[in-house]
Amino acid sequence: MTSGRATPGTTLDAGDALFTMQLIRYFDERVVELYNQKLVRGSAHPYIGMEAIATGIISALGDQDLITSTHRGHGHCLARGLDPSRMLAEVLGRKSGYCRGKGGSMHITAMEHGMLGADGIVGGSHAIAVGAAYASRLQGRDTVVACFFGDGAANEGSFHEACNLASVLDAPVVFVCENNGWALSTRASSTMRIDDISTRAAGYGFPGVTVDGNDVHAVRAAADEAVARARSGAGPTLIEAKTHRMSAHSAFATGETSTTEELAAWAERDPIEALVRRSISTGELTDEAVAETRVRARAAIEAATEHAVNDEQPDPETAFEDVYASSHWTKEMRLA
């Protein structure tokens, strides 16, 4: 019960889910602190408040499955089991990072974990997900691809093209729209005339469902159904998980966009506290187990920080390595 990865086909383990969600929360709180100490180049987008989505969806996936991510990708990576030390090293641009320090927060990629990449381009991963899913199917693999994106990305043309193509190909994709109500400083309600983004799936001929994105069990239940459908060959599903980011848009763009009332209402619905309340009331967790889980998650982030801040910078002479495709890259990093 340390990785936070649940076994597909089983019910969600409350302790595993809590560990993963708390790890994500502590990780991104630490990233903001390190950014403020000027140790992070560029920016970083905290997943704080959205932890239930990555945790619920990815716990329904198997090792053979793949994920694509966004600019707000740390939660997806941690839920997928990436090492927080190597992730933080990447965020700080250090040598032991997943991309040898050359990708940074928005480009963490770990093919060995089936993590096809975070993406600084809003809407950049829809087509990658459909392509990977269809390729896997052609290769006879039993692979499902979970494609994470925001409400803002649901207005990009690439989303609509990818949905249509996934539908006609019956590609095994689970589209996961993390609807946090905002695209940077633009309210979703001012960019679309629908209440539920999930209704867009009907236009492409596959199921769409809206769930409470702050309820990890609700997210997991929707994921179980969507993953089973994709794996059976029946094609894609769109899961819209409604949530809110409990942080500013990014470590750089810190201006508050929500009203004080909205912030207070969403704070009441903190996904981690909701899971703790539920798990204690059902008897799945005790107060002691919750405290122990938090200590473990905190210790992992302290160890990751210690590792990352002391790690070396990449050698300047390696600046052009891994930038252009080479036989080295394809041999070592392609999927097994």
Ligand X SMILES: Cc1ncc(C[n+]2csc(CCOP(=O)(O)OP(=O)(O)O)c2C)c(N)n1
- Report CA torsion sign: 219, 221, 223, 225: negative
Instruction: Decide: is 303 part of the binding site for ligand X (CB under 6 A).
Output: no
* Partner touching 121 among ligand X, Mg ion, none, CB below 5 to 8 Å by kind: ligand X
Report the number of secondary-structure helices (H) and strands (E) in the chain.
Answer: 11, 7
Options 151, 215, 270, 311; binder of Mg ion; rule CB under 5 A:
151
Options 84, 101, 114, 150; binder of ligand X; rule CB under 6 A:
150
> What is the CA angle 320-109-40, rounded to 5?
75
* Partner touching 120 among Mg ion, ligand X, none, CB below 5 to 8 Å by kind: ligand X
Nearest in space to 152 (alpha carbons), one of 184, 116, 109: 184
> What is the CA angle 307-308-312, rounded to 5?
100
Q: CB of 171: closest distance to ligand X in angstroms?
A: 21
Q: Tokens in use for 17?
A: 């889910």
Q: CB of 249: closest distance to ligand X in angstroms?
A: 6
Half-sphere exposure of 278 (CA within 13 A, CB side): 18
Q: Which stretch binds ligand X (CB under 6 A): 17-25, 33-41, 114-122, 287-295?
A: 114-122
Q: Which stretch binds Mg ion (CB under 5 A): 92-100, 143-151, 213-221, 304-312?
A: 143-151
Question: Do residues 154 and 201 make contact, with C-beta atoms less than 8 angstroms apart?
Answer: no
Ranked by CB distance to Mg ion, the top (closest) residue is 150
Question: Do residues 179 and 219 make contact, with C-beta atoms less than 8 angstroms apart?
Answer: no
Q: CB of 253: closest distance to ligand X in angstroms?
A: 9
Distances (CA, A) of 336 to 69, 111, 136, 331, 333: 21, 9, 12, 10, 8
Question: Do residues 322 and 99 make contact, with C-beta atoms less than 8 angstroms apart?
Answer: yes
Using CB under 5 A as the binding rule, the residues of this chain from 171 to 210 that contact Mg ion are 180, 182-183
Name the phi and psi angles at 332, rounded to 5: -85, -25
Ranked by CB distance to ligand X, the top (closest) residue is 150
Q: Which is nearer to ligand X, 151 or 224 (CB)?
A: 151
Instruction: Decide: is 44 part of the binding site for ligand X (CB under 6 A).
Output: no
Options 24, 54, 115, 153; binder of ligand X; rule CB under 6 A:
153
Long-range contact list for 314-321, CB < 8 A, 24+ apart?
A: 314/93, 314/94, 314/95, 314/100, 314/101, 314/102, 315/95, 318/100, 321/100
User: Could you give the string, one character per residue 55-84, with x where binding to ligand X holds by CB under 6 A and - elsewhere?
Assistant: ----------------xx------------
Q: CB of 241: closest distance to ligand X in angstroms?
A: 11
Q: CB of 120: closest distance to Mg ion in angstroms?
A: 15
- The site that binds ligand X (CB under 6 A) totals a number of residues, namely 15
Q: Is 211 helix (H, G, I), strand (E, B) or coil?
A: strand
Instruction: Decide: is 180 part of the binding site for ligand X (CB under 6 A).
Output: yes
Residues that bind Mg ion (CB under 5 A): 150-151, 180, 182-183
Residues that bind ligand X (CB under 6 A): 71-72, 120-123, 150-153, 178, 180, 182-184
